[in-house]
Structure 1
Amino acid sequence: MYLGVDCGTQGTKVVILDPERGRVRGEGYAPHELIATADGRREQQPAWWTAAFQAAWRQALAQSGIDGRAIRAIGVSGQQHGMVVLDGAGEVIRPAKLWCDTETAAQNAELLDRLGGERGSLERLGLVLATGYTLSKLLWLRQREPEAFARIAHVLLPHDYLNYWLTGTLASEYGDASGTGYFDIRTRRWTPEVLELVAADGRLARALPPLLEAERAVGRVRPELARQLGLGDSVLVSSGGGDNMLGAIGTGNIRDGVVTMSLGTSGTLYACSARPPLQPPAPVASFCSSSNGWLPLICTMNLTGVVNQMRQLFGFDVEQFTRQAAEVEIGAGGITLLPFLSGERVPALPEASGSLLGLRPHNLTPGNLCRAALEGTTFGLRYGLDLLQEAGIRSDHIRLIGGGAKSRLWRQMVADIMDADVVCPQAGEAAALGAAIQAVWCDLHEQGEKVSLDSLCERFVVLDEHSAVSPGPEAVERYREVYRRYRQQLSIVHG
C-alpha cells in the first residue's frame, strides 16, 4: 500500500493506493485555516499542515480498512512557492507565506529590475520571476521583519517541510525547486548569485537543502512519528513535488501531447515536455516536472474563489447557481467580468482589482452575473492556453481536475472556449494520486526495479469516460467573439 498526500491552500487530502487492485482504497481530507489581510497577505502556520495530515490520514485509514503497517512508502505534494523558514534548531520562525501572497509585489518588481528585467531573468533562470515566487518573499522578510530574517538557518518549500517533518531530512526536488526564483530550470541547480540580490553574505545559499531526482527517496519516516501514526518501522518517503507537478503524474500527463487544466482555488494549465521551451512568452513558467522532464505552466490566481463569492452574493447553493448560469446565453448578456479580486499572475497584474463591464438596465440579472463569473475566470485560462501555444505546446485534448471539474456546465464551457475535447480522471484528487504513484516509483527503484513512471501511470490513471465532453461548433464560434471582447476590454482597463 502507498500513501499520497496533497497539502493545498484550502486543506490536505490523503489517498491510499492499493497497487494489487490498481485503485484507491481510502481517502481523507482536513481543512486549513488561512491568514488573509486586505493588503494581499496570505499565510499559514506549518503546524496546521501537519495536524491536517494526521486527521486526513486517519480518515483514509478508517475508510480503507487496512492495517497502517501495510504502507510501504509515502509521497507528498505541496502548494508551490511557499516560504517556510527554520532556525538553527529546526523550528519554524514565522507563518509560511503562500503562493497567493501578493504583499510581496513591490519586492518582486525590485528583484526583476535588478535581474535586468524579463530578458535578464530568462538568461539567469530560464523563466521570468513572478510575484508569488519564493525569492520575493525572502526580500520582503529581510525588509519588513529583519529580526526573523536574521534567524534563518533553513529555507524550505511547503512539501519540503512536510518531508522534513516526516523524516528529519532536509531536501528538495527539481520540480518544486523550479518555482522558487533562485533555481535554473535548464541546469537544474540552485542559483546562489540570484540569492545574493537579497543578501550578499551567502547565508541564504547555505540555507538551501540538497536537490534530489524525482525517483529518489528523501528518507524513512522517523520511528517516533511512525509509532504515533500507526505505520511500520521503515516507511520510505519519496522526493515528492509541487502540486502541479504531482497533478501532472496523477493525470498521466508525463509525455508530450497531453494538457492538464485545474479548476481549483487557482486555475492552472500545464503540459509535460521532454525539453524546455526555447523562447517561451514571459508569463509561461517553464518549470521542471517531477518526472525528470519539464512542465511549461501558466497559473491564474482567481478561479473557484471568485465563482463561490458570486454564488454567495446571491445566497445560491451550487445547484441554484448552476441553473441560473445555464439559463443564460453565451456572453452573459454582454457583461464581462475581469475577475482579478486577488490581483493576478497571468496576465501579470499583481495589484489589479476586479471589474464588471458592460452593465445595462436590461442585463443586470443574477443569471448574467453568475455566467459572467464562469466565463471570466475561464477566459483567463484560455489566455494562458494561447501563451502555451506560442511556446510550442500543441494538444486538442484536456484532462480536467479540481473542484470546478465536477460541474458539467463548466466542463462544457471549457471545451467550447478552448475548442478541445475534455475528460476528467476517475480519481478526483489528482495531486494526491500522483504523489502515491511517485511513491510506488521511488519504492521500486529503491528495490532495484527500473520500472518506468509511464507504465505506472498507464496502470493507475483511469479516465472517466462519462465525464467526457466535446466542443460544439456553434458554441465555439460564439465564444470566439465573446473572448475577443474579453481581450479588448482587458487591454483597455489594464493596458
Structure 2
Amino acid sequence: MTTTKLFLGIDCGTQGTKAIILDAVSGQVLGQGAAPHTMISGAYGRREQDVQQWLDAFTIATRQALQSANVDGQSILGIGVSGQQHGLVLLDDQGQVLRPAKLWCDTETSAENDRLLQHLGGEKGSLERLGVAIAPGYTVSKLLWTKEQHPEVFARIARILLPHDYLNFWLTGRCCSEYGDASGTGYFNVRTRQWDLQLLRDIDASGRLQAALPELIDAHEAVGTLLPSIAEHLGINPDAVVASGGGDNMMGAIGTANIRPGAITMSLGSSGTVYAYGDVPSVSPDASVATFCSSSGGWLPLICTMNLTNATGAIRELFNLDLPQFNQLVAQSPIGADGVSLLPFFNGERVPALPHATGSLHGLTLDNLTQANLCRAAVEGTTFGLRYGLDLLRQNGLQSQRICLIGGGSKSAVWRQIVADIMNTPVICTEQSEAAALGAAIQAAWCQSWTDGHDVSLADLCQRCVKLDPNSETLPIAANVAAFQQAYERYQQHVATL
C-alpha cells in the first residue's frame, strides 16, 4: 500500500518561480525550490517578461524541490501551476512565442483600456456586461495595444494565453484555460463563465482573436499528461497529470483553505490582495471589487492594491535597512507615526481607484521627521489601502471572522499586529508561506483523484494539507484599534484631497 502521494506545485510570479513537493497523504510539504525572473521595464509603464525565463526557472525550481525533498521525480503523480494573472502570451501557429509577455503591472496600455471602457459604457457598463470593471492591468487592453503598436505581430497570432495557460501548454501541448484565471482577462463573463466573443470581434472584426482563444475547462479537470520530452527534461513521471491550475490569487485561496464562505485571505506581497469565497457571483456595485471566479468551483470577490511590499521595500532601500532593522524602527514609532502619513501610490493605485496618483508624504514637522516614523508610515499607509478594500468587501455582505495572512509581509510580527488592529479582526498565518504553490499542489491532488475516480474532496485535501501556525495568531488590541481608527480617518482625508 502506498503511504505517500506526491504532487508538484508551481507558482510562477513576477519576481520568480517557486516549487514545492507535497505529500497529499500526510499533508506535509517535503521540499521546496525557487529561481528568480527579471523584468523588462520601459517608458510609459512598460513591464514585460521573456517567457523563456519562466521555463528555465520552472526547471531549476523543480529540480531543487525534488532534491530537497529527496524524492524521485518518477513518483510525482500530478503537477499544478499557479501563475501571475492578466499577463498576455501570444503564440504563432507553430506554438512559438511572438513577443515578451506583457504583465499585470504593465500600465503602457492605459489609453487602450480607457477606450475599451468607454466602448463598454464606462465602469457601470463593464460591470453589467462582464461582472468586472476592466482595469489597465487586464489582458484585453494588451490585445488592442498589440494590434495598434505591433500590427505585424498581431497578424501572426494563433493562440492567446495567460501565463499559467502557457506553462500548461509547455507541459502538455494543449491550450486551455480555467474560469478563475480567465476572469481577469476582461473578455470573460464571470456570471455565465463564458468568453465575451463580441468584445473580441469589436477589437478585430476578422475573428482572428476568438479563433485564438483557449478552450475553457472546469477547475477539477486535468489538462492532460506531460509531453514525453518535457517529462524527461524535468525528470518527472510522464504519466503525471497536469491540473487545470489557475491564477495566483485563486491558488492562494486553495492554499489557505479559503473555499467556503467566511474565510478571508490577505496577501502582503509586492501588491496587496484581499479575497473571500462566495457561492454565488454577487457583483459589487463598486468597480474596485473584482468578482472573479474561484478555481474551486465558486467565486472569489477580490480587491488588489498596487503598492505594498514594493512601497515598504523602497523606504527600506532608501535608508539601507535590512528587514530586522526596518521592523525594529516600525515598532519604535507610535500608532499614527507621530502625525506622519505616507500615501504610498508609487505605481498609481487601483484601490482606492487613483491610477494617475503618485506617492506623497503629509504631516511632516521638524519634530516628527525621523526614520522610525517614515518606516511606520509606509507600513500603515499600505495597510490602510487594504482596510479600504476590506471595507468594500464587507459592504458587499462579506463576513470576516478571521484573516489568513500570506506573502512576504506576513512574516513580520509587527506588521501582523498592525493588520489585526487596523482590520479589528484576528489574524493567523499558514505554516506554508508559499500559499499559491501549495494551492496548486492541492489542486493537482484533487484533479488526480477525479481522474482516478476516487473522488477525494477538495475540502478533505485542504483540511489535511493547509496547516495554520498557532504561533502567528494575533488578536486585535482594543486600545490600538481605537487609535488606528483615528489614523485611518486621517488617511481617508488625505486620499479625498486627491
- Could you state the TM-score of these two structures normalised by the residue count of structure 2? 0.98
Moved more, 143-152 or 413-422: 143-152
Matching residue within 433, 441, 450 for 2:455: 450
The aligned counterpart of 1:489 is 494
Matching residue within 16, 19, 35 for 2:21: 16
Contact kept, 8 Å, 2:261 with 2:276, in 1: the verdict is: yes
Q: CA deviation at 1:278?
A: 4.2
Contact kept, 8 Å, 2:284 with 2:291, in 1: the verdict is: no
In the TM superposition, what whole-angstrom CA distance separates every residue of 1:221-273 from its partner, at most 9, and x where no partner exists? 10011111111221110000000000000000000000000000110000001
The aligned counterpart of 2:81 is 76
| Residue 472, structure 1, aligned to residue 477, structure 2 | yes
RMSD in angstroms over aligned alpha carbons?
Answer: 0.9
Letter in structure 2 aligned against 1:153: A
How many angstroms apart in 2 are the aligned matches of 1:353 and 1:14? Answer: 35
The 3-state SS of whatever aligns with 1:427 is coil
Structure 2, unaligned runs of 5 or more:
1-5
Moved more, 36-45 or 418-427: 36-45
The aligned counterpart of 2:3 is none
How many angstroms apart in 2 are the aligned matches of 1:70 and 1:314? Answer: 48
How many angstroms apart in 1 are the aligned matches of 2:317 and 2:14? Answer: 20
Matching residue within 418, 430, 434 for 1:429: 434
How many angstroms apart in 1 are the aligned matches of 2:473 and 2:450? Answer: 35
Q: CA deviation at 1:350?
A: 2.1
How many angstroms apart in 2 are the aligned matches of 1:321 and 1:119? Answer: 42
Q: Which runs of 4+ in 1 moved over 6 A?
A: none
| Residue 226, structure 1, aligned to residue 231, structure 2 | yes
In the TM superposition, what whole-angstrom CA distance separates every residue of 1:424-480 from its partner, at most 9, and x where no partner exists? 001111000000000000000001122211111011111001000000000000100
Matching residue within 149, 171, 182 for 2:176: 171
The 3-state SS of whatever aligns with 2:44 is coil
The aligned counterpart of 1:105 is 110
| Residue 367, structure 1, aligned to residue 375, structure 2 | no
Contact kept, 8 Å, 2:27 with 2:466, in 1: the verdict is: no
How many angstroms apart in 2 are the aligned matches of 1:400 and 1:128? Answer: 26
| Residue 123, structure 1, aligned to residue 125, structure 2 | no
How many angstroms apart in 2 are the aligned matches of 1:312 and 1:233? Answer: 45
How many angstroms apart in 2 are the aligned matches of 1:106 and 1:333? Answer: 40
How many angstroms apart in 1 are the aligned matches of 2:397 and 2:110? Answer: 29
Moved more, 371-380 or 390-399: 390-399
Q: CA deviation at 1:38?
A: 4.3
| Residue 390, structure 1, aligned to residue 390, structure 2 | no
The 3-state SS of whatever aligns with 2:99 is coil
The aligned counterpart of 1:258 is 263
> Superposed, which structure 2 residues align to 1:29-48 within 5 Å?
29-48=34-53
Matching residue within 314, 339, 342 for 2:344: 339
The 3-state SS of whatever aligns with 1:140 is helix
Contact kept, 8 Å, 1:396 with 1:419, in 2: the verdict is: no
> Superposed, which structure 2 residues align to 1:321-336 within 5 Å?
321-336=326-341
Contact kept, 8 Å, 2:10 with 2:20, in 1: the verdict is: yes
How many angstroms apart in 2 are the aligned matches of 1:65 and 1:393? Answer: 43
The aligned counterpart of 1:412 is 417
Contact kept, 8 Å, 1:284 with 1:388, in 2: the verdict is: yes
The 3-state SS of whatever aligns with 1:214 is coil
Contact kept, 8 Å, 1:105 with 1:350, in 2: the verdict is: no
How many angstroms apart in 2 are the aligned matches of 1:200 and 1:237? Answer: 34
The aligned counterpart of 1:143 is 148
In the TM superposition, what whole-angstrom CA distance separates every residue of 1:335-371 from its partner, at most 9, and x where no partner exists? 1111111111112222221111111111111111000
Contact kept, 8 Å, 2:333 with 2:373, in 1: the verdict is: yes
The 3-state SS of whatever aligns with 1:261 is strand
Contact kept, 8 Å, 1:105 with 1:351, in 2: the verdict is: no
In the TM superposition, what whole-angstrom CA distance separates every residue of 1:185-234 from its partner, at most 9, and x where no partner exists? 01100001111232122211111000000000001110011111111221
Q: CA deviation at 1:106?
A: 1.1
Matching residue within 276, 299, 303 for 2:281: 276
| Residue 56, structure 1, aligned to residue 61, structure 2 | yes
Structure 1, unaligned runs of 5 or more:
none
> Superposed, which structure 2 residues align to 1:197-208 within 5 Å?
197-208=202-213
Count, aligned residues: 493
How many angstroms apart in 2 are the aligned matches of 1:119 and 1:35? Answer: 34
- Residue 469 and residue 293 in structure 1: after superposition, are their counterparts in 2 closer, same or farther (change >3 A)? same
- Could you state the TM-score of these two structures normalised by the residue count of structure 1? 0.98
Contact kept, 8 Å, 1:61 with 1:68, in 2: the verdict is: yes
How many angstroms apart in 1 are the aligned matches of 2:455 and 2:23? Answer: 20
